[in-house]
Amino acid sequence: MQFVSTRQLARAAGVSESSVKRWCDQGLIPSVKTAGGHRRVSLDAATEFLRRSTDPHVRPELLGVPIRRGAGPPSIKRAADEFFEALAAGDEELCRRIVFDLHLAGEPASKICDAVVAEAFHGVGAAWECDQLQVYQERRGCGLCLQLLSEAKLVIPEAKGEAPLAIGGTPQGDPYELPTAMVELVLRQNGWRSRSLGSRLPFETLLKAIDEVRPQLFWLSVSHIDDEAAFLDGYRQFFQQVPAEVVTVVGGRALTDGLRRQMNFAAHCDNLQQLEKFAEVLKRSLSRPGEPGVTLAAAETPLRPRRGSSRA
């Protein structure tokens, strides 16, 4: 974990060091003390502090966090257009600034991923189809976004201790890495300990992981299916063996209505903002096990409940 001093944070926040020290001592900014008695603030706590600040003079770049441009909140639509252009040009620094700007302006990772990054990739796909973008630009863009998602974990605090656990990935034959990495990040920001296991994972290995890790939530992201019949068969056998207490959430562009009608799952989400709502409700019900369960129907999103589950 990276730490910053109270002096560094004070400069970045545009306030006095004594104020930062006082807020640390009052617990308003989580901090630790070195053996020599100096307060240190983790980079994620420092970023969270800057993120809450409405002061236009905040200079996050002093902590190595990309610059927040302008005082007002950036528009999502404009950010999505700019992100697409920067992605096509392979301008990593601009891509980084756009997403971190939105983060510092308080936009949740779910919205940034859905409305900016995924949106830009839909544009990349469309442009590639019309020969307006080259394959190398798409691959470069993917690598760049995976890098940004990994950097985002440095500034989004990891939930600790008793936080519920979630794991997931993409099935065998599905090479799409971005959606599962995004799910990991969104759950992390919503107080889950989440781990994406990656892509192209056979169902047997996913079952092994569930058995060993015992998560409360398992997600499957499905963007590409080679053979639908084989996928459905593998999934059915998989789902039958998933322990009843593990909530299975599925998503991804390859899960058409027709396919989903033949599958069992706890919830299907079209996007990460729906997942966020669902995970919030689920987390609340897990943290109060004695109280009447929060049903999936209570989520304010168009989640589809389990259909004729063999475990019901």
Residue 112 interacts with ligand B12 (CB under 6 A): yes or no: no
Is residue 41 a contact partner of residue 24, using CB atoms and an 8 Å limit? yes
Cβ proximity to ligand B12: between 142 and 154 the closer is 142
State in angstroms the smallest separation of the CB of 270 from ligand B12.
6
- Is residue 122 part of the contact set for ligand B12 (CB under 6 A)? yes
Q: Which of residues 269-308 bind ligand B12 (CB under 6 A)?
A: 269, 271-272, 275
Q: Which of residues 177, 192, 203, 218 is near ligand B12 by CB under 6 A?
A: 177
* Max intra-chain CA distance, the chain: 65
The vertex-304 CA angle with 266 and 178, nearest 5°, equals 75
Nearer to ligand B12, 83 or 121 (CB): 121
CA angle 215, 218, 220 (to 5 degrees): 155
Per-residue binding letters, 62-101, with ligand B12 (x by CB under 6 A): ----------------------------------------
Inter-residue contact 178 to 68 (CB < 8 Å): no
Beta bridge partners of 32: 40
Q: Which stretch binds ligand B12 (CB under 6 A): 8-16, 40-48, 84-92, 169-177?
A: 169-177
Scanning 210-218, 256-264, 265-273, 300-308 for contacts with ligand B12 by CB under 6 A, the matching segment is 265-273
- Helix then strand count (H, E) for the chain reads 13, 8
For position 221 contacting ligand B12 by CB under 6 A, the verdict is: yes
The sheet carrying 165-169 orders its strands as: 193-196, 165-169, 217-221, 247-251, 267-269
Are the CB atoms for 210 and 243 separated by under 8 Å?
yes
The distance of closest approach from Cβ of residue 214 to ligand B12 in the complex, given in angstroms and rounded to an integer, is: 19
Q: How many residues does the chain have?
A: 312
Q: Does 192 bind ligand B12 (CB under 6 A)?
A: no
Give the burial class of 79: count Cβ atoms within 10 A of its Cβ; 0-12 exposed, 13-18 middle, 19 or more buried. Answer: buried
User: Do 203 and 238 form a contact (C-beta atoms < 8 A)?
Assistant: yes
Q: Judged by CB under 6 A, does residue 153 bind ligand B12?
A: no
Q: What is the size of the binding site for ligand B12 (CB under 6 A)?
A: 31
Applying CB under 6 A, the residues found at the interface with ligand B12 are 113-114, 118, 121-122, 124-126, 129, 138, 142, 175-179, 182-183, 219, 221, 223-224, 249-253, 269, 271-272, 275
